[in-house]
A and B are shown apart, each in its own frame.
Chain A
Amino acid sequence: MATVTTNPVGRTRPADSPRESWSEKLGRWVFYLPLIFMVLFFAIPMAATVVFSVFERTMFWMEPGFTLFSYENFFFSARLTNFLDSMKYSLIAVAICFVLGFPIAVFVRKSIPQVAQHRVVLLFILPFMVSEIIRVFALRPVLQRNGLVNTTLQNLGLIDEPLTVLLYSHTGVVIGEVMSFLPFIVFSGFLAMEAVPKYIFEVCDDLGVGPWRRFCDVILPLAAPGIFAGSVFIFVNGLGVALLPNILGGPGAVNAGLIATQAITALDFPLAMAVSAIMMATLMTLLWIGHRLFDLTRILSPLS
């Protein structure tokens, strides 16, 4: 305030330097908290993953250096085939989730009264009340050789020999992925349908737009960003969640997450880091493509 007293009489304090109370100052800093959090617990560890992936492997840990041995180890071994296979089966899981889950989302938006919609969607959270490991493990008695599915099919006389492809195989992993991740496509589909105004259906009725056309020409383009976001989520989890192939998979039926976990078990930390870095790169490429195609920012912006 000393400057004010030295000013000529009649001049007031410049408008651009109002005094800030400490709570205003704090208020400004609160906005940086998420940023600090993300840098500390996301950006730095992610960068470290890339850095560690080129370190030299030692007996129990690793030491600074630069070698692409881990990447070589990944790309010139069965790991690459396994990784590409897990991408393929993740895609299949995404497709199945979409076919099963998106119609549910459309149905909830279109045919359930507004007040009840959120409650219906909440029902899909129920499976998450049970620990994932138990949920996934519980699939074993259903899918195994003398499990529920096989016994039922045999008793109905539909098959003579029990189906062995259901468990400890890619099929088992895909079944587990669909079961675990279906709710996500329902959620994201439900949100995506927010971009599809209800009047659209009446306009379609009036113009005589059939169901298939309606889906391709109207619902899909409008809901695309949301559907893509849900699909990426499922795809990335299909690649990364080690638990599913660990419990339901078998020889060859692994995913990137399990490859990394196995590398850690074998105390090959640079390899684990390299696998993680490759997964990250895959995800970022996917997001970039998605953003170019659909402008993902539209997911969060209401239509004008």
Chain B
Amino acid sequence: MTKTPAPAVELRGLAKHYGDVVALTDVDLSIAAGEYFVLLGPSGGGKTTLLRTIGGFHRPTKGEVLLHGQEVGHLPPDKRPTTMVFQAYALFPHMSVTQNVGYGLKVAGMDKAQAAEKTAAALEMVGLDTFADRRPHELSGGQQQRVQLARAFVLDRDILLLDEPLAALDAQLRKDMCLELKHLQEKVGITFIHVTHNQEEAMTVADRIALIANGRLVEHGAARDIYRAPQKAFTASFVGENNLLSGRVTETAGQTARIDVGGTALRVDRRGQQVQTGQDVTLSIRSESVALDTAPDTEEDGTSLVGSYNEAVYLGLTTSHLVHLPDGTEMVSRVIADQDDMMPAAGAPVRLSWQPDAIRLHVE
């Protein structure tokens, strides 16, 4: 235990209540040093509360926050190895860019020449060295967020907390800034913990992602695993475009379970999960893994469903075909648009099929 370096952040049984409202409950999480970690989840799910608890802006109701192995529950934000980039363009409006970045050092009582040097270096790192004398209101949103980054970097704290840092930017700028954040993190090498509700943003920057919803840590893992093989049905509903099917277990044989979905039997890999006959389960399958064809008369093979065609939604790169299953569930099959030359009539019977390993079983 003592030989491996302590994780940058370790949370043990963390909970935060506001009166009767439970904002966070039972969060256990460990974030390695130098990792780009994303807290992803719907608004009001508790991810910002979690970030602020790590930063010391809230005191947890229960549980412990350990930073580099040290319990920090009693420390104010400035005594922790963390610093925060806020969602709003949280700069001092009456100070220039240089003054904003250097203010933390001035407060810390650093020698003036040394502080000026550090400030200039930080501004250069975020590409704002030519804007040093501007006031915040003379900068664009993206530039203001860079000033916040520079202000955080000069403090030499090694855990950077980012609270929806790109939420106020427009879509194109957000994409650019995402990549830039990722590159900055690689360059600086400190731990980034980034809160967002945007899964694309999360996918772009994250080494690992944790899903937070309803005050609980739903699931965490490498960004790719979260997308490709979500453990929980909630993850499947939130990350990527997944079709969720509810069904009932009719039979288990080895690793395979037979699930009855609206009268059709499907074969699903259990992936080690324990299921019993008669249990209600959820299945998920990504829309791009679902193929559509107009020959519904082939017999049941356990990896396909029959429904009636509803409509096509053209999205540019891809086209989503919406299909109604007999029980009313809507399923989506997404294909690259240009490959598509077949357009069934509305109401026509169609078959949706997939590779056996594309469908996942969720027990909740």
A residues near B (Cβ < 8 Å) are 195, 197, 199-200, 202-203, 205-210, 213, 217-218, 221-222, 303-304
Q: Nearest chain A CB to B313's CB is how many angstroms away? A: 39
Contact A197 B78, beta carbon cutoff 8 Å = no
Q: Which of B66-74, B83-91, B191-199 contacts A (4 or more CB under 8 A)?
A: B83-91
List 30 A-B residue pairs with CB atoms under 8 Å apart, sorted by A's residue number: A197-B88, A199-B90, A200-B90, A202-B86, A202-B90, A203-B86, A203-B90, A203-B92, A205-B76, A205-B77, A206-B55, A206-B77, A206-B83, A206-B84, A207-B107, A207-B151, A207-B155, A208-B76, A208-B78, A208-B104, A208-B108, A209-B103, A209-B107, A210-B107, A217-B103, A221-B94, A222-B93, A222-B94, A303-B137, A304-B137
Q: Cβ of B354: which chain A residues have Cβ within 8 Å of it?
A: none
Provide the bound-state CA to CA distance between A202 and B164, in Å: 15
Q: Cβ of B86: which chain A residues have Cβ within 8 Å of it?
A: 199, 202-203
**When A205-B76, A207-B107, A304-B137 are in contact, do A200 and B57 touch as well, CB less than 8 Å?**
no
B224 within 8 A of A: no
Q: Cβ of B79: which chain A residues have Cβ within 8 Å of it?
A: 208
Provide the bound-state CA to CA distance between A209 and B104, in Å: 8
Q: Nearest chain A CB to B17's CB is how many angstroms away? A: 18
Contact A202 B107, beta carbon cutoff 8 Å = no
Q: Nearest chain A CB to B359's CB is how many angstroms away? A: 46
Q: Cβ of B91: which chain A residues have Cβ within 8 Å of it?
A: 203
Option from B93, B94, B103 in Cβ contact (under 8 Å) with A207: B103
Provide the bound-state CA to CA distance between A303 and B144, in Å: 14
Chain B residue with the shortest CB-CB distance to A304: B137
Provide the bound-state CA to CA distance between A207 and B104, in Å: 5
Contact with A along B144-175 (1 / 0, CB 8 A): 00000001000100000000000000000000
Q: Nearest chain A CB to B318's CB is how many angstroms away? A: 39
Q: Cβ of A213: which chain B residues have Cβ within 8 Å of it?
A: 107
Q: Nearest chain B CB to A39's CB is how many angstroms away? A: 36
B residues near A (Cβ < 8 Å) are 55-57, 76-79, 83-84, 86, 88, 90-94, 103-104, 107-108, 137, 151, 155
Number of A-B contacts (CB under 8 A): 52
Option from A199, A200, A208 in Cβ contact (under 8 Å) with B107: A208
Provide the bound-state CA to CA distance between A197 and B104, in Å: 18
Provide the bound-state CA to CA distance between A217 and B100, in Å: 11
> Which 6 pairs from chain A and chain B are nearest by CB?
A208-B78, A199-B90, A207-B104, A304-B137, A205-B77, A206-B77
Contact B92 A218, beta carbon cutoff 8 Å = yes
Q: Cβ of B155: which chain A residues have Cβ within 8 Å of it?
A: 207
Contact B88 A303, beta carbon cutoff 8 Å = no
Query: Do most interface residues of chain A lie in helix, strand or loop, or is the interface mixed?
Result: helix
Q: Cβ of A210: which chain B residues have Cβ within 8 Å of it?
A: 107
Q: Nearest chain B CB to A162's CB is how many angstroms away? A: 49
Q: Nearest chain A CB to B307's CB is how many angstroms away? A: 50
Q: Nearest chain A CB to B29's CB is how many angstroms away? A: 22
Q: Cβ of B84: which chain A residues have Cβ within 8 Å of it?
A: 202, 206
Chain A residue with the shortest CB-CB distance to B92: A218
Provide the bound-state CA to CA distance between A13 and B272, in Å: 82
Q: Nearest chain B CB to A297's CB is how many angstroms away? A: 15
Q: Nearest chain A CB to B92's CB is how many angstroms away? A: 6
Chain A residue with the shortest CB-CB distance to B155: A207
Q: Cβ of B104: which chain A residues have Cβ within 8 Å of it?
A: 207-208
Q: Cβ of A303: which chain B residues have Cβ within 8 Å of it?
A: 93, 137
Q: Cβ of A203: which chain B residues have Cβ within 8 Å of it?
A: 86, 90-92
Interface centre among A203, A205, A217, A303 (most CB of B within 10 A): A203
Known: A203-B91, A209-B107. 8 other contacts (CB 8 A): A200-B92, A202-B84, A205-B56, A206-B83, A206-B84, A208-B79, A209-B103, A304-B137
Q: Cβ of A221: which chain B residues have Cβ within 8 Å of it?
A: 94
Provide the bound-state CA to CA distance between A230 and B42, in Å: 45
Q: Cβ of A197: which chain B residues have Cβ within 8 Å of it?
A: 88, 90, 93
Chain A residue with the shortest CB-CB distance to B135: A304
Q: Nearest chain B CB to A194's CB is how many angstroms away? A: 12
Q: Cβ of B108: which chain A residues have Cβ within 8 Å of it?
A: 208
Q: Nearest chain B CB to A217's CB is how many angstroms away? A: 8
Interface centre among A199, A202, A213 (most CB of B within 10 A): A202
Chain B residue with the shortest CB-CB distance to A203: B90
Provide the bound-state CA to CA distance between A202 and B88, in Å: 11
Q: Nearest chain A CB to B154's CB is how many angstroms away? A: 10
Option from B57, B88, B92, B93 in Cβ contact (under 8 Å) with A205: B57
Provide the bound-state CA to CA distance between A184 and B94, in Å: 25
Q: Cβ of A217: which chain B residues have Cβ within 8 Å of it?
A: 103
Provide the bound-state CA to CA distance between A207 and B82, in Å: 10
Q: Cβ of A304: which chain B residues have Cβ within 8 Å of it?
A: 137
Provide the bound-state CA to CA distance between A218 and B90, in Å: 13
Q: Cβ of A218: which chain B residues have Cβ within 8 Å of it?
A: 92
Q: Nearest chain B CB to A199's CB is how many angstroms away? A: 4
Q: Nearest chain B CB to A107's CB is how many angstroms away? A: 20
Contact A202 B78, beta carbon cutoff 8 Å = no
Q: Cβ of A200: which chain B residues have Cβ within 8 Å of it?
A: 90, 92
Provide the bound-state CA to CA distance between A304 and B94, in Å: 11
Q: Nearest chain B CB to A294's CB is how many angstroms away? A: 11
Q: Cβ of A207: which chain B residues have Cβ within 8 Å of it?
A: 78, 103-104, 107, 151, 155
Chain A residue with the shortest CB-CB distance to B100: A203
Chain A residue with the shortest CB-CB distance to B89: A199
Q: Nearest chain B CB to A208's CB is how many angstroms away? A: 3
Q: Nearest chain A CB to B157's CB is how many angstroms away? A: 9
Option from B76, B88, B137 in Cβ contact (under 8 Å) with A199: B88
Provide the bound-state CA to CA distance between A221 and B88, in Å: 20
Provide the bound-state CA to CA distance between A199 and B151, in Å: 15
Q: Cβ of A206: which chain B residues have Cβ within 8 Å of it?
A: 55, 77-78, 83-84
Contact B57 A202, beta carbon cutoff 8 Å = yes
Chain B residue with the shortest CB-CB distance to A198: B88
Chain B residue with the shortest CB-CB distance to A217: B103
